[in-house]
A and B are shown apart, each in its own frame.
Chain A
Amino acid sequence: NAGVTQTPKFQVLKTGQSMTLQCAQDMNHEYMSWYRQDPGMGLRLIHYSVGAGITDQGEVPNGYNVSRSTTEDFPLRLLSAAPSQTSVYFCASSYLDSTNSPLHFGNGTRLTVT
Chain B
Amino acid sequence: AQSVTQLDSQVPVFEEAPVELRCNYSSSVSVYLFWYVQYPNQGLQLLLKYLSGSTLVKGINGFEAEFNKSQTSFHLRKPSVHISDTAEYFCAVWSGSSNTGKLIFGQGTTLQVKP
Contact = CB atoms under 8 A, between A and B. Distances in A.
B78 to A, nearest CB: 20
Contacts of A92: 43-44, 103
A111 interface: no
A61 B61 CA distance: 35
A44 B102 contact: no
A45 B105 CA distance: 8
A98 B101 contact: yes
A99 B94 contact: yes
Contacts of B107: 40-42
Interface string B28-58: 0000101010000111111001010000000
Nearest to A54: B100
Of B42, B43, B106, which is in contact with the most chain A CB atoms at under 10 Å from its CB?
B43
Interface in B69-109: 90, 94, 98-108
Given A102-B46, A107-B42, A108-B43, A97 B103 contact: no
Q: Sort chain A's interface into a size bin.
A: 20 to 34
B44 A103 contact: yes
Contacts of A58: 102
Given A42-B106, A43-B105, A97-B99, A105 B45 contact: yes
B98 A50 contact: no
Contacts of A98: 94, 98-99, 101, 103
A92 B105 CA distance: 13
A106 B9 contact: no
Contacts of A99: 32, 49, 51, 94, 98
A79 interface: no
| 6 cross-chain pairs, A with B, having the tightest CB-CB distances, nearest first | A105-B43, A102-B46, A43-B105, A42-B107, A99-B98, A42-B105
Interface of A: 4, 33, 35, 40-45, 48, 50, 56, 58-59, 90, 92, 96-100, 102-103, 105-108
Given A40-B108, A100-B98, A105-B44, 5 more contacts: A43-B90, A45-B102, A98-B101, A102-B45, A107-B43
